[in-house]
């Protein structure tokens, strides 16, 4: 990667730490979820600044606690204060009741409240202002995820001269879904104010380009190696695919440590060496948790010989509990767990062990290491880091990955994993059975392959490829692009030049 002259300014809705009140006192906690866990591991090695919301506290308390949190890090932390109303209408409302369900192909779960849109614009402007306060033209601003799709536009309007890149951690929907969004054109045109746009998979990039073709026909484009260059109003945006990953070495070496080894052995003993099927998710309707439980019930009904021999460990981390859909999901999941346990439990065997809490890294690794199957049944998922973490932690190479074809990770892991359709409950049950009876040698060779894939393209590689692309998306080259593109036909038609959804960039 060409060296950055300035600093890296990372902007995401949440900081990697969150301030929560415990016993009336503000306390620092690590933020939950894939974005924070992936980014924190690479940012530890970069100097710069991370800008985001720190939780519901006043600015002074946030600044003091963030200063403390930054002591163990190579980067600074800067809070964007949000009012309660902004959190409710921007974060819970626009981001999580419109964009999240829509981009995961679930439009019937959307609440297209026009007030949410007002707040989305207002808060994006706030984030842009916070970035402008500290950025110089030598810096690189890296904005993350669906909360900040308008920030590029506000940065430009405020006269920002730094390079600005954006990475979407969730899927980008096909045009028939995206078109339902009343503010579709403004959002697409605003995204084109970034110099670089990164997507998780080729399918997401293809969907984005297809949406542009339909909704912003005034944009033109060309192909440059594996990237697309889109030109709108004389400005260039580079569009590319960067599948996110994890820190393989960190997960693998910690999983091999003596304390994780001891914890994993104890877990296996406590479960009387049963075959362990593991589910680890944020409590989210996109993760297909009820589908997984129903598939497990089918397994126990169709293959009674597996009763007493197989145990499902389902760990969920609480998430977005203030949103009604999420509360209902929790009730549905807990009802299913108790129904299935009620139907099958016998002396000495409980089929499902259910945990609704955050695990420490050591506990999580002990589960990954001891499990025989990682069961990922997302109805739709940007990537799914759990799949990759499981592979890295499988130092004994005995585990099997069963993964939904609709998780971004499936395209990278398809050759070593068993790929399922999460709506095909009988198919998932068959896949679990297949993994249970799979010869040891086959399991080992599949897991070796999966570990090689995750080791080769890790989170450092992901960040470097994004940053390298951002560095070559130099705003100073825009004038050149503007003069060569104004009024001209596109070099190559968009759709003809876009890779097919399932092709991946090597
Ligand atoms: P998430 O939807 O949060 O991420 P995922 O990628 O699976 O999904 O990451 C979840 C993270 O939370 C993992 O790092 C996992 O270890 C951790 N986790 C889950 N349950 C836990 C528990 N009980 N205790 C402790 N930790 C737990 C979003 C997108 C994904 C995309 C990521 C990164 O939705 O599709 O892969 O961002 O881009």
458-499 residue pLDDT tens: 998 999 999 999 988 766 555 444 444 433 333 333 333 333
User: pLDDT tens digit string along 80-117?
Assistant: 999 999 999 999 999 999 999 999 999 999 999 999 99
Residues 484/238, Cβ–Cβ less than 8 Å: no
* The pLDDT of residue 26: 79
CB 412 less than 6 A from any atom of ligand 1 = no
CB 38 less than 6 A from any atom of ligand 1 = yes
Residue 377 has pLDDT above 50, yes or no: yes
Q: Does residue 229 share a domain with residue 263? A: no
Pocket test for ligand 1, best of 18, 29, 31, 34 (most atoms within 8 A of CB): 34
* The pLDDT of residue 126: 97
Residue span of the structural domain in which 424 resides: 250-456
Q: Does residue 206 share a domain with residue 61? A: yes
How remote is the CA of residue 389 from the centroid of ligand 1, in Å? Answer: 10
Q: Which residues pair with residue 141 across a beta bridge?
A: 9, 164
pLDDT band for position 323 (cuts 50, 70, 90): confident
- Residue 221: both structure tokens together: 């484009």
How remote is the CA of residue 377 from the centroid of ligand 1, in Å? Answer: 14
CB 385 less than 6 A from any atom of ligand 1 = yes
For 454, the 3-state DSSP assignment is helix
Burial class of residue 336, CB neighbours in 10 A (0-12, 13-18, 19+): buried
How remote is the CA of residue 494 from the centroid of ligand 1, in Å? Answer: 33
CB 317 less than 6 A from any atom of ligand 1 = yes
CB 315 less than 6 A from any atom of ligand 1 = yes
Residues 17/29, Cβ–Cβ less than 8 Å: yes
Q: Does residue 141 share a domain with residue 95? A: yes
pLDDT band for position 22 (cuts 50, 70, 90): confident
- Measure the CA–CA gap between 110 and 177, rounded to whole angstroms: 11
Pocket test for ligand 1, best of 173, 280, 329 (most atoms within 8 A of CB): 280
Structure letter (DSSP) for residue 200 = S
- Tell me whether residue 505 is in a domain: no
Q: Does residue 307 share a domain with residue 200? A: no
- Tell me whether residue 212 is in a domain: yes
Angle of helix 385-393 relative to helix 34-43, nearest 10 degrees, comes to: 60
How remote is the CA of residue 374 from the centroid of ligand 1, in Å? Answer: 14
- Tell me whether residue 506 is in a domain: no
Residue nearest to atom 38 of ligand 1 (CA): 169
Domain count within the chain: 2
Q: Does residue 278 share a domain with residue 215? A: no
Q: Does residue 312 share a domain with residue 279? A: yes
Q: Does residue 343 share a domain with residue 412? A: yes
**Helices (H) then strands (E): counts for the chain:** 21, 17
User: pLDDT tens digit string along 179-208?
Assistant: 999 999 999 999 999 999 999 999 999 999
How remote is the CA of residue 139 from the centroid of ligand 1, in Å? Answer: 29
Catalytic choice (147, 169, 227, 254): 169
Angle of helix 425-437 relative to helix 289-302, nearest 10 degrees, comes to: 60
CB 280 less than 6 A from any atom of ligand 1 = yes
- Tell me whether residue 475 is in a domain: yes
- Tell me whether residue 448 is in a domain: yes
User: What CATH number corresponds to the domain at position 97?
Assistant: 3.40.50.2000
Q: What pTM does this model have?
A: 0.92
Q: Does residue 287 share a domain with residue 187? A: no
CB 204 less than 6 A from any atom of ligand 1 = no
Q: Does residue 317 share a domain with residue 240? A: no
Angle at the Cα of 492 from the Cα atoms of 486 and 495, rounded to 5 degrees: 115
Pocket test for ligand 1, best of 287, 355, 365, 386 (most atoms within 8 A of CB): 386
* The pLDDT of residue 491: 33
Residue 45 has pLDDT above 70, yes or no: no
- Tell me whether residue 1 is in a domain: no
Residue nearest to atom 7 of ligand 1 (CA): 384
- Tell me whether residue 64 is in a domain: yes
What is the overall mean pLDDT for the chain?
90
Q: Does residue 431 share a domain with residue 344? A: yes
Residue 27 has pLDDT above 90, yes or no: no
Q: Does residue 75 share a domain with residue 216? A: yes
User: pLDDT tens digit string along 62-88?
Assistant: 778 788 878 877 788 999 999 999 999
């Amino acid at each position: 990667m060409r060296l950055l002259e300035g600093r890296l300014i990372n902007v995401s809705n949440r900081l990697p730490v969150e301030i929560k009140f415990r016993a009336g006192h503000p306390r620092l906690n690590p933020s939950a979820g894939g974005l924070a866990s992936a980014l924190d591991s690479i940012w530890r090695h970069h100097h710069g600044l991370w800008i985001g919301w720190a939780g519901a506290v006043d600015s002074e308390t946030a600044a003091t606690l963030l200063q403390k949190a930054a002591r163990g890090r190579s980067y600074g932390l800067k809070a964007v204060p949000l009012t309660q109303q902004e959190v409710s209408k921007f974060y819970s409302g626009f981001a999580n009741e419109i964009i999240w369900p829509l981009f995961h192909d679930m439009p019937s779960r959307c609440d297209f409240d026009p007030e949410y849109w007002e707040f989305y614009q207002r808060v994006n402007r706030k984030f842009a202002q916070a970035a402008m306060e500290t950025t110089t033209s030598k810096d690189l601003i890296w904005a993350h995820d669906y909360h900040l799709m308008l920030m590029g536009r506000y940065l430009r309007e405020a006269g920002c001269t730094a390079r600005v890149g954006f990475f979407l951690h969730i899927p980008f929907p096909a045009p028939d879904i995206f078109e339902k969004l009343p503010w579709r054109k403004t959002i697409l045109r605003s995204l084109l104010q970034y110099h670089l746009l990164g997507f998780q998979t080729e399918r997401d990039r293809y969907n984005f380009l297809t949406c542009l073709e339909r909704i912003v026909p005034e944009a033109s484009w060309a192909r440059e190696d594996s990237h697309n260059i889109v030109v709108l109003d004389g400005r260039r945006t580079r569009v590319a695919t960067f599948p996110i990953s994890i820190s393989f070495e960190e997960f693998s070496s910690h999983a091999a440590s003596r304390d994780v080894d001891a914890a994993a052995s104890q877990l296996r003993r406590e479960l009387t060496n049963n075959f362990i099927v593991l589910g680890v998710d944020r409590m989210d309707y996109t993760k297909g948790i009820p589908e997984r439980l129903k598939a497990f019930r089918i397994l126990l009904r169709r293959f009674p010989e597996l009763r007493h021999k197989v145990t499902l460990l389902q760990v969920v981390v609480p998430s977005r509990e203030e949103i009604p859909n999420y509360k209902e999901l929790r009730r549905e999941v807990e009802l299913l767990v108790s129904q299935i346990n009620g139907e099958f439990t016998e002396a000495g065997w409980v089929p499902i062990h259910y945990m609704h809490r955050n695990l420490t890294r050591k506990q999580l690794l002990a589960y990954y290491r001891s499990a025989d199957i990682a069961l990922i049944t997302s109805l739709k998922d940007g990537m799914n880091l759990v799949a990759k973490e499981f592979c890295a932690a499988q130092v004994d190479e005995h585990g099997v990955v069963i993964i939904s074809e609709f998780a971004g990770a499936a395209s990278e892991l398809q050759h070593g994993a068993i790929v399922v359709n999460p709506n095909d409950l009988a198919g998932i049950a068959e896949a679990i059975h297949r993994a249970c009876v799979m010869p040891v040698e086959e399991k080992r060779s599949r897991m070796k392959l999966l570990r090689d894939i995750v080791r080769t393209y890790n989170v450092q590689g992901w960040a470097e490829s994004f940053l390298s692309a951002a560095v070559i998306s130099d705003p100073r080259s825009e004038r050149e692009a503007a003069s060569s593109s104004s009024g001209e036909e596109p070099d190559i038609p968009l759709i003809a030049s876009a890779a097919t959804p399932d092709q991946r960039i090597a």
